[in-house]
Structure 1
Amino acid sequence: MDTTADPDRGAQPPGALAGMRVLDLTQVMAGPFCTMVLADLGADVVKVENPEAGDQTRRSWGRTGRGDDSRAFMALNRNKRSVALDLKSEEGLLEFHRLVTTADVVVENWRPGVAARLGVDYETLAELNPALVYASISGFGQSGPYADRPGYDLIAQAMTGVMSITGEPDGRPVKSGIPVADLGSGLFCAVGILAAWISSRRTGRGQRVETSLFESALALAVWESTELWETGRVPAKLGSANRMSAPYQALATRDGYVTVGANNDRLWRRLCAAVDLPHLPDDPRFTTNTARMENRAQLVQVLEERFAQRDTAEWVELLLAAGVPAGPIQDYRQVLQDDPHVKARGMVQHVQHPVEGEVPVLASPLRLSATPTTIRRPPPLLGQHTDEVLERAVVEP
């Protein structure tokens, strides 16, 4: 499989969002992740950056390679073109307003009030383009008592309860290893943009789309909100265990851990048979899912005594053969470099960067049969496409 993306290597099928034109005013993570999702689907995303330094992640986040741009920037900005405009200058603002008249979407992730001060808020731009979809991602939303607070993934995870239920029961609060508030808000915003764009194409009227790190992280608390409202109990940390079923967690083996998903009675009985503990389903402590959750500590102790007798790979093979969902805990080197399924699904691709050469990137997980996602362009250099975009207004990706 050829997984090296090159914008000049030949014709590629148009993406599902071919024809959508996005002006991307965002930086760091949540906004760029949102616009990268749209770009992977075929939208023409023009990243509008301050000519002084551009997106914060270009210089100040993580390591750089041969050039000045960080790997963090490259991870979030493929398939985009970069235009350098000083929106605080009269000339830069006029150029941006001109671009707005030909755009379908504008995305920004400033703190509330910044866009209005710059003259690029929804009310101003909607007068130039009534069909415009204008999307905003902020820390806490455009209204409410927290609206003016700075927004960071860590703070959102802390204030929405995510950190209160992450980690081992007797451990200190920890954040999710993945920045769920940042990435979640980016995904929610992308969905909102698509819905508003479809509506705009039907009615000719645009609208504002808004989400926040705080609300996005809170919206993911499906099981936790259910537990609180149904039982009155405050959800607690469970380590790798599940809030709604048992056993559904990591169990220690002779050489590491195996994850087991026996989350219903049928799978529970299969698990017991596979590990040669046929008496467990009739043990009063474990006869029902409710009983297993109430006696989770005892259940784990019994299972781990048996799992300690074999290595993880042996247990995975045995459990899968018995129809019990199971898998090893892998680190990212194992996943990205060695995992055969990752290779077969093409989840690691490469893009030719004008300075860095061949750069690995994670592929889109979206699979569309007729209009597939593509990696057409490497992450742009700062201002790389300014002349191209401003002289020709908009060029298809």
Structure 2
Amino acid sequence: MTTTPTAAQAAAPAAHPLERTLDGLRVIDFSQVAAGPLSTMILADLGADVIKIEPPTGDIGRTLGPPFIEGESTVFLSLNRNKRSVTLDLKCEEGRARARALIATADILVESFRPGVADRLGIGFQAARAINPRLIYCSISAYGQHGSWSHKPGVDGVVQAVSGLMSVIGHEGEPPSKVQAPIIDMVTGYHAALAILAAVNQRAAGSVPGHLDVNMFTSAVMLQQVTLSSYLTTGELPVRCGSGAPYATPNEAYQTADGYVLVAAYQPERWRRLCVALDRPDLADDPRFGTLSERMANRDALTAELTGAFRHRPTGEWVARLEGADIICAAVSDYDDVASLPLLAESGVLTTVHHPAAGHIVMPGFAIGGRSMAARRPPPRLGEHNSLLNEGPLPKLPALADTCRG
């Protein structure tokens, strides 16, 4: 017998299909700032018990800002929900002894020291595996654990520069630009989480994987899958084209009477419908713009013609008119606009966390495969969970000398 759900039941958001899938896994997290903390937050969102190891002065991310909310960095808050914080001074033997005791209890270790530092601290891959042979060990660095650049430090903006990403952003003749969101940190964090989850599956199949070497440079290169592949095939440097796509037009942002609208109408039928919607049917038969290759060759002229038409109406009118003609488009939104979009609430991508100092914090949650999961715990205060390490399933850890206490 089947039953029909009530309207209320049908409207209620379903639990995330991946909720608590990593229950029972423990992660020891020695990473700081962004890429590493994002990867371990993903694991924590999925149910893993993430113990964040911080120096007595705290994760560097705690100092980054503005903005700060009641003294708490939003950078740190956005990347560390669902974790516990323990302070250890790894510069002294007692602190390292406690770290080794924690490693013995772990399924996964994530670290983002510069290559060689973890080895000097006695918690590198070989040492950690000697303590815990089934440990999944993931290192995150700027340029990898080996090679001529492995010793170099790197941050998001520097890797955007060296990976070529900045060379394809902006307009020809203008200074280099970078993506203001820390996109390389974010994609590296996702890559690390992906590698770790694959390793968990491999271990479950009976084979413990080797050292996972995730780095920002290779992540940045992989992020440019299409544009870099095009260059490697043709040897032709891409031309910077602002909001436009290097492979098709119209496929960019055009100025309207009150803002900008991004239009993707490069397919033949959509191109013709766009010309009609703009009250410029003549453009469809203009020999400069008849085919995609002709439009690409005459892009500047096309942009001038289209911008002249789009400036006659406000963005909202254009979106309604173009959507009525089945033309793919959207207003170019700032964050105020995004926050007011009904789509944002409908998508379930946001989650709210209550922090004892910062109060209610709204942030993007884990919404991969379903609506964001509810946060189990807020981002931790520095050393908030030091006392918990002698409770529950953890073995009693060696006492700290006063000179080494976090």
Q: TM-score, normalised by structure 1?
A: 0.91
Counterpart in 1 of 2:323? Answer: 320
Q: Counterparts of 1:295 and 1:230 in 2: how far apart (Å)?
A: 23
Counterpart in 1 of 2:338? Answer: 335
* Residues 353 and 359 in structure 1, CA contact (< 8 A), matched pair in contact too: yes
Counterpart in 2 of 1:258? Answer: 261
* Residues 251 and 266 in structure 2, CA contact (< 8 A), matched pair in contact too: yes
Identity, % of aligned positions? 39
* Residues 240 and 250 in structure 1, CA contact (< 8 A), matched pair in contact too: yes
Task: Give 3-state SS (helix, strand or coil) of 1:178's partner.
Answer: coil
| One-letter amino acid matched to 1:314 | E
Query: Is 19-28 or 351-360 further displaced after alignment?
Result: 351-360
Counterpart in 2 of 1:359? Answer: 361
| One-letter amino acid matched to 1:272 | C
Residue from 292, 295, 300 that aligns with 1:297: 300
Q: CA deviation at 1:14?
A: 4.5
* Residues 286 and 299 in structure 1, CA contact (< 8 A), matched pair in contact too: yes
| One-letter amino acid matched to 2:376 | R
Task: Give 3-state SS (helix, strand or coil) of 2:123's partner.
Answer: coil
1:180 partnered with 2:183: yes
| One-letter amino acid matched to 1:37 | I
* Residues 95 and 390 in structure 1, CA contact (< 8 A), matched pair in contact too: no
Task: Give 3-state SS (helix, strand or coil) of 2:303's partner.
Answer: helix
* Residues 351 and 373 in structure 2, CA contact (< 8 A), matched pair in contact too: no
Q: CA deviation at 1:277?
A: 2.4
Higher relative contact order (CA 8 A, sep 6+): 1
* Residues 353 and 360 in structure 2, CA contact (< 8 A), matched pair in contact too: yes
Residue from 104, 107, 110 that aligns with 2:107: 104
* Residues 42 and 373 in structure 1, CA contact (< 8 A), matched pair in contact too: no
Counterpart in 2 of 1:139? Answer: 142
Change (3 A) 1:211 1:13: closer
Residue from 203, 210, 214 that aligns with 1:211: 214
Q: Counterparts of 1:394 and 1:373 in 2: how far apart (Å)?
A: 27
Task: Give 3-state SS (helix, strand or coil) of 1:392's partner.
Answer: coil
* Residues 166 and 174 in structure 1, CA contact (< 8 A), matched pair in contact too: yes
Change (3 A) 1:116 1:13: closer
Task: Give 3-state SS (helix, strand or coil) of 1:203's partner.
Answer: coil
| One-letter amino acid matched to 1:72 | V
CA deviation map 1:347-375 (0-9, x unaligned): 33321112222222222231348xx7331
1:37-52 to structure 2, matched below 5 A, reads 37-50=42-55, 52=56
Gaps of 5+ in 1: 2-11
Q: CA deviation at 1:392?
A: 2.4
Residue from 36, 39, 45 that aligns with 1:34: 39
* Residues 15 and 374 in structure 1, CA contact (< 8 A), matched pair in contact too: no
Q: CA deviation at 1:130?
A: 1.6
| One-letter amino acid matched to 1:297 | D
* Residues 84 and 386 in structure 1, CA contact (< 8 A), matched pair in contact too: yes
* Residues 26 and 49 in structure 2, CA contact (< 8 A), matched pair in contact too: yes
Q: CA deviation at 1:394?
A: 4.8
1:55 partnered with 2:66: no
| One-letter amino acid matched to 1:176 | V
* Residues 40 and 373 in structure 1, CA contact (< 8 A), matched pair in contact too: yes
Counterpart in 1 of 2:26? Answer: 21
Q: CA deviation at 1:17?
A: 1.8
Change (3 A) 1:303 1:83: same
Q: Counterparts of 1:231 and 1:279 in 2: how far apart (Å)?
A: 34
Gaps of 5+ in 2: 1-7, 9-16, 396-406
CA deviation map 1:20-41 (0-9, x unaligned): 2111111111111111111112
Change (3 A) 1:64 1:255: closer
| One-letter amino acid matched to 1:304 | T
Change (3 A) 1:130 1:259: same
Q: TM-score, normalised by structure 2?
A: 0.89
Task: Give 3-state SS (helix, strand or coil) of 2:345's partner.
Answer: helix
